[in-house]
Structure formats: structure tokens, C-alpha cells
Structure 1
Amino acid sequence: MEHNHTWEEGELPKGKKAVTSKWVFTIKYKSNGDIERYKARLVARGFTQTYGEDYRDTFAPVAKLHTVRVVLSLATNLEWELWQMDVKNAFLQGELEEEVYMKPPPGLEDHNAPGKVFKLKKAIYGFKQSPRAWYHKLSTTLLDRGFKKSEADNTLFTLPSKEGIVVILVYVDDIIISGNDKVGIQETKTFLKSVFDIKDLGELKYFLGIEVCRSKEGLFLSQRKYTLDLLSQVGKLGAKPAKTPLEDDYKANRKGELDNKPFEDVTQYRRLVGKLIYLTITRPDICFAVNVVSQHMQAPTLHHWNMVTRILKYLKGAPGQGIWMGCNKNTELVGYCDADYAGDTKDRRSTTGYCTFIGGNLVTWRSKKQKVVSLSSAEAEYRAMRKLTTELMWFKALLKDFGIDTPKPITMHCDNQAAIHIASNSVFHERTKHIEVDCHKVREQVQLGVILPCYTESEEQLADIFTKGASTKVCEYIHHKLGLVDLSRP
């Protein structure tokens, strides 16, 4: 910290208060569970800061995990390189704009000068504005280098040249570098090392708990270690595996003796569901089940806890399952959307589900209950189409930043003929006059030639598992189509 010129000693001015700090010790592990290193970090007690005095804006963007999967799919299809870098003590690089004082940390107190404080020039961990200061420093450095910031995702930076393109994706202190300009990538890595204290981790293998395995045929994403750690924490490593995340006849709001009995440890329920939500990054097969149990965080019952237990037993059956991205050498965009009409027996709201593919590889998926009650299945499906439309519009803008144009209309698969007719024509009758204006964004994009609704048989609707609990046979068929595999199985 002294080498980084983080602070300068001085007296505390009148009317100012000094923030205290503490040392935090952690152990960093590798993906296989081995100890990587022991880590000590000085953390400020940021909760003692006062808004307007020693901090103001705190917002700082991090990479969307959708964008991460898009970059990985493009790198696989276009045979780009994938590198990972880690910034050492990233927040210490950010420069503070506010006047902030800190008491000497434990071990550095000078008993001969009890009134001495540190005036901070650089941000340290724990301060509310530290993430913003670091992002501002990094983005300014990259923009001065000639990179362009993506409007679709502010953590994505691109540097096109005659030789190709260099892509940088930032998630706080973790950086993914990709592209087909090999010389440009090497120069960028050298430049970042000269500006920041940064560590080159080599080829991308482990990112935010996601394990990445790459070969000439494609790329495999999984959270095997995360899943096994989760099962170990809740004592389910020896549980009997379940074939599906939900029972075939499940009902989240079932009325029975045990179903209405409150679950006592609400904190445990919330913590466990939160971990399952993070697991959906590479496990679309549990997306709908996790969506159902996450709706009852406020007052879960024993029935809801049994549903969570069922998901854990399903994970026990295939802890190493993940997404396979093949090298298909194209960047075609395709979307699937579906809706379960009035699926919730309590409030009769429908559930929207969709998934998108780039170059034949699954990159995004969603399962979400609609905010209003739909009066018909056509209306429910039309609302699902609107959600997918906004997703595809974002994809189109994102791919443009990579230098990839999509002149042809993007195919949108839907299994409801009435919804497709509403999207393609200015229909106005009793069934459609109440639909909000924002839903007609679909019709506008169809007329502009951005998307092309296409009818698909219900058996071929891949978004089906994001709207309802499916049977074992249906799950196996759709999982295969989505590219879900378990490489750890023989």
C-alpha cells in the first residue's frame, strides 16, 4: 500500500471524521479444491461513511453473465483465443475524488503520535465508492488506448483493426481477453501489465466459479466444484438422486396438512435458494424449479423446503452437468419463447420462458412469472414474445460491437398461431384491445425486419422446460437439444 502511494500521513481537520479499518484473512482455493494461496487484506469499515461527506455515487457496472456466455460462444465458433487476467488489489488502483480520512490500521499505530490519521489518495476495499473509482480508472485507461466501450454492456471494450479485433470483458478485477488479433492481444496484455499490478492467468479455465474446458471441437462450461460444495454443505452427497428437478404433479401452492406448515429456518431457505440461483448460470435445467422456490422467500413452508430438497437430489444425480458449445463456425441468432397460461394456481398468472442461441450454442435463458394476469393463452404467449424481442434487440446491438452484422431477420420460434398473427398484423378485437402498448414492440420489430416469428410444434418448443415441470422423457429430449451434457460420466 505504501508502494502504491495509497495514503499520506497528516492531522485530522476540524469537522472531519476518520474511518476505521480491520484486517481480513482468507484462503483462496483452486477449482480442484487445492489451496492456491493465503491472503491478507486491509478493509475499511465503509458502513461508517456518510453520504455527501466522504462518498457520493457508488454505482459501478460488472459484466452480465449473458455477455460472458456470448463472448465464449463467439470465441468457440470463430476460433478466437481466450485469456484471463487478474488485477492484484484492483480497488487500490482507483483514485478517490472525495476527501476521506482513515485511522491507522491495526499494527501501524504510532503511540507517540496518537492524533495521526491517513488521508487516502487511492480507494481501498470496504469503501462505498471503491468499485466506481476502480471502474473509472480502468475504463479511462482502455479508452485512451483506443478501445471502444459497448453501449449494450458497459464492461465490454473492443479494439478493431486491420488484423482483426481485441475484446476485453471486465468483471471487477477479473478480465477476459479474446479476439483474433494475436499481436493486438499480446500488446494489450503488455500494456495492462505496465499500467496495473496484474497477473496473467493464461488460458481461460476458471472464471467466477465457472469451469471452462476447451478443445478443438468446442467448449464446455460447468460448475461442478460449486455443486459438490453445495451438496456437501447441506449433507446431500449421499442422497438418492432424482431424475427431474420437480415432481411431475408438483403444485407450489398446494393445500394440505404439511403444505401450510411454516418452515422454521427461513434464513437457511433463503441462503440455499440464493446459491441455487447462482447455479443456474450453467444449469438451465433447474431454471424453472429455482424460479418457483424463489417466489416463496418471505414465508416458505415445509412443502417449499421439500421442493428445494428435490432440486438438490436432482443435482446429486449429475453434479458435473453443464453446457456444451460446439465449434459450428457461424453466428446465426435464433430464439425460442413459450408461456404456461395461468400456471400459478394461487394468482393465475402465466409464466414466461425463453432461450436464445448464437451459432447453434445456448447463451441465454429465462423463466419468469408475468406481472399481470393474461386473459387468454394467445395474450400470455404474446407477452413472452415481447420479452424475447427485447432480448434479441439487445443481441443485435451487442453483436454489432463485435463487428458482426445481422442483416437477415432473427428467427423467433413460437408454438401459438394466434400470438404470431397478432405480432404480424394490426389485429384489433375484443381479445387484444386491452394489451399494453409496450407489447406491440413485437409488431414494430417484425415490420422493421428485425425478427421473424415462426410457428413451431409444441414437441419441438425448447423453451417448454422454462415454463413448467416436465417429465423425464421430455427433459432428456430438450436437454440434448439445448446442449446439456455431463462430461464426467463415462
Structure 2
Amino acid sequence: MWELVPFAPTHNLIGCKWVFRVKLNADGSISRYKAGLVAHGLKQQYGVDFDQTFSPVFKTATIRTLLTIVVSQHSELRQLDVKNAFLNGVLSEVAHMKQPSGFINPAFLNHSCLLKKSLYGLKQAPRAWFDKVSRFLLSYDFIKSAADSSLFIFKSSVVTIYLLLYVDDIIITGSSSSILQQFIDDFNAQFLINDLGRLSFFLGIEVQHDSHGLFLCQKKYLAGSISHGLSITTASSLNILAYADTDLVGCPTIRRSTSGYCVFFGGNLISWSSKKQPTVARSSSEAKYRALASAAAKVTWILLKDPHITLSTTPVVFCDNISATYLAYNPVQH
């Protein structure tokens, strides 16, 4: 992880500390206790010991779309957890850290730790890990989705594998159980993982399986709506339908309208939005057209070109304003 080197005044020396936390199950019970060494990333200096820090995370509509595909194709749905994921990242910058408590070498008290690999707490740690795992997946002939950088797709003549990455949590599914298991074994040989089996709990959401499909809920803290959730059911045909609507001058103070839309894929709700429009609409047609445009933009993003899914029909966006639909059909009037 690091190499002890003589400390120089020109080094930007960052500190570190031990962090202890409790990992919980879906019902709030204790799963295990964890301890980790964390660097003081706030002491880092841009351009000295870090540069780029951005690391993508998937969009919520992506996971709901993927779950709809899995349920409709009756594919196996697995969950993996990468152990100490950030420690796999390779640093391209020079970073110096104080020797951690409990591991101070008395023979080298005037030395610092020259980090060779990434460490939790470093500003570039998430990016370094994502770059490392991305390179491995691309070398395995996965393709990164153009719509969502956290979705990786492997397609051959005999199998299609979808892998969704959220930091160190992975959802993976494939049309062949044997080939899927072979990939998981190869992935484990490169990155040590916990194979958690069938997907049951992901990012605070409990996933229940039944004969009709999946039921997503958050029982852990939704005391007032513990019986409510989002259902993902098997679809006889995969098509995209969207509904857009808005009010007119809904806010009496700022006179702006509120747009809303919901998008269904295979009959399952995968994306929705409700937000105030940025400017005051001069007519109901203008307000409705803005809502229609927002829904159409979301549908265009969800068109499923990367996952190689063929839609049964052309996507349809519904709007209850004739003037707005005429504007959409006839660009001459724009």
C-alpha cells in the first residue's frame, strides 16, 4: 500500500485515522463490524497530490429498467460486494501520508508513507477504483453504456450479461447461469468479492421476490408507509409509455407552473419527475409543451439501444393538450 520514504518540507503531508462502523441488514439488524484506515483527504492540495476526482454513479431509472428486463426474461439476478474496493485503485499522483497510529515504525520516525495504491478518504479514491474496474471489464469485452457509464454490457452469440456498478456494490445478471458464474469466478480472481447470491438488499432498498416479479420497498425507516413499494412485474411486451402534465400558474407567488411526467417500461414505472418550470409560461399550451419536452427527453435517453432490447412498439408520450401536441407534430409552428 505504501513505502516509507524520508520526509521533506516540500511534501504535502496528510494525516489518517482509524474508522469503525457497523454494517446493517435490510431489517436494521447488525450484519458485521468493520474497521478501516482513512486518509484525511481534506488536507490534499489540488494539482499537488490529486487532480481529477469525478466518478460516475448510475441513474435510478437505469436500475429499474434493468430489473424490468431481468423479470421479463426470467434471468438470474445476483449481487456482489467488492471487499476493500478503493484499495485496488492505482494512484497516478504522488501522495504522502503520516504513519498510521499503531503502525509507526520507531526506526523511521522522520519518514512518511508514500502511497502506492489508493486509500479510503483520498479525493481521487473513487475515480481510481472506477478506472481500475472499468479497464478490467473492457478487457473482458464488456461495453460501457453511452447512456449510463455505470452500466456494462457483454453480448455474444450465446449470452448477454448486464453489470451495474455502484462504487463497491454490483448487480449482475445474465442469460446463462454457467457463463455468468464463470465470469464471477474470473472477477473474484482479480478483485476479492463477497458473493451475496440473489439480489435482496441494495442501497437501502429491500428487494422481495415472488412469482409475479419483484417488489421494492424500504421497510427500515418508512414507518408511515411500510406496506407501500414499487412493483416490477413480468411484461408480455416491452414498450415505453410516458405521460406528461402540468398546471398553469400553479404558484400564486412566482406565477410559475409545475411540470410532471412518469415513464413506464413494460408496464413498470421506471422514472418520474415533478418540478417547477424555470420561467413563467404565457399560456397553457406553452406550459404543457415544456412538460411534453421534458418527458420526450427522458424517453429518448431510455431508448435501450445499448442493452440490445427491441421494443414491441414505438415509444409514445401522452399529453392532454391539443395545442401542445400540434406544436410537437408541426415544427413549422415552433
For the aligned pair, the TM-score class normalised by the smaller chain equals over 0.9
**Equivalent position of 1:355 in the other structure:** 262
* Cα distance between partner residues in 1 of 2:56 and 2:98: 30
* Cα distance between partner residues in 2 of 1:153 and 1:160: 17
Q: Deviations over 1:213-255 (max 9, x none)?
A: 1122111001111324xxxxxxxxxxxxxxxxxxxxxxxxxxx
| 1:46 aligned to which of 41, 47, 63 | 41
- CA separation of 1:116 and 1:320: change in aligned 2, threshold 3 A: farther
| 1:78 aligned to which of 70, 73, 78 | 73
SS of 2:301's partner is helix
**Equivalent position of 1:386 in the other structure:** 293
Structure 2 counterparts to residues 325-336 of structure 1, below 5 A: 325-336=232-243
SS of 2:187's partner is helix
Query: How many residue pairs end up in the alignment?
Result: 334
What's the offset of the Cα at 1:394? 0.5
Is 2:102 the counterpart of 1:107? Answer: yes
Q: Contact between 1:78 and 1:329, CA under 8 Å: does it hold in 2?
A: no
| 1:159 aligned to which of 154, 161, 167 | 154
Q: Deviations over 1:391-417 (max 9, x none)?
A: 011011xx1111113484311111111
| 2:88 aligned to which of 47, 69, 93 | 93
**Equivalent position of 1:414 in the other structure:** 319
Query: TM (normalized to structure 2)?
Result: 0.97
- CA separation of 1:170 and 1:151: change in aligned 2, threshold 3 A: same
What's the offset of the Cα at 1:427? 5.3
SS of 1:225's partner is coil
* Cα distance between partner residues in 2 of 1:384 and 1:42: 48
Q: Contact between 1:353 and 1:384, CA under 8 Å: does it hold in 2?
A: yes
| 2:307 aligned to which of 385, 402, 407 | 402
Q: Deviations over 1:306-363 (max 9, x none)?
A: xxxxxxxxxx2x2231011111232111111101111011101111100011111111
- Identity value in percent: 42
Q: Deviations over 1:243-282 (max 9, x none)?
A: xxxxxxxxxxxxxxxxxxxxxxxxxxxxxxxxxxxxxxxx
SS of 1:321's partner is coil
**Structure 1 residue runs of 4 or more that deviate by more than 4 Å after TM superposition:** none
Structure number having the greater strand percentage: 2
Q: Contact between 2:239 and 2:313, CA under 8 Å: does it hold in 1?
A: no
Is 2:54 the counterpart of 1:149? Answer: no
Counterpart amino acid of residue 241 in structure 2: V
* Cα distance between partner residues in 2 of 1:418 and 1:179: 45
Structure number having the greater helix percentage: 1
Q: Deviations over 1:13-33 (max 9, x none)?
A: 451122100011111111122
Counterpart amino acid of residue 366 in structure 1: S
| 1:31 aligned to which of 18, 26, 35 | 26
Query: Any gaps of 5 or more consecutive residues in structure 1?
Result: 1-5, 229-315, 429-439, 441-490
Structure 2 counterparts to residues 281-360 of structure 1, below 5 A: 316=224, 318-360=225-267
SS of 1:341's partner is coil
Q: Contact between 2:239 and 2:314, CA under 8 Å: does it hold in 1?
A: no
Q: Which has the higher contact order (CA 8 A, sep 6+)?
A: 2
Q: Contact between 2:248 and 2:258, CA under 8 Å: does it hold in 1?
A: yes
Is 2:167 the counterpart of 1:172? Answer: yes
* Cα distance between partner residues in 1 of 2:331 and 2:44: 55
Q: Deviations over 1:183-213 (max 9, x none)?
A: 2211111111000011101000000000001
* Cα distance between partner residues in 1 of 2:331 and 2:115: 61
Q: Contact between 1:78 and 1:330, CA under 8 Å: does it hold in 2?
A: no
Q: Contact between 1:102 and 1:117, CA under 8 Å: does it hold in 2?
A: yes
* Cα distance between partner residues in 1 of 2:61 and 2:44: 34
SS of 1:212's partner is strand
Query: Any gaps of 5 or more consecutive residues in structure 2?
Result: none
* Cα distance between partner residues in 2 of 1:127 and 1:324: 39
* Cα distance between partner residues in 2 of 1:415 and 1:189: 48
SS of 1:134's partner is helix
**Equivalent position of 2:274 in the other structure:** 367
Is 2:128 the counterpart of 1:223? Answer: no
SS of 1:401's partner is coil
* Cα distance between partner residues in 2 of 1:227 and 1:104: 43
Q: Contact between 1:223 and 1:320, CA under 8 Å: does it hold in 2?
A: no
Query: TM (normalized to structure 1)?
Result: 0.67
Counterpart amino acid of residue 316 in structure 2: T
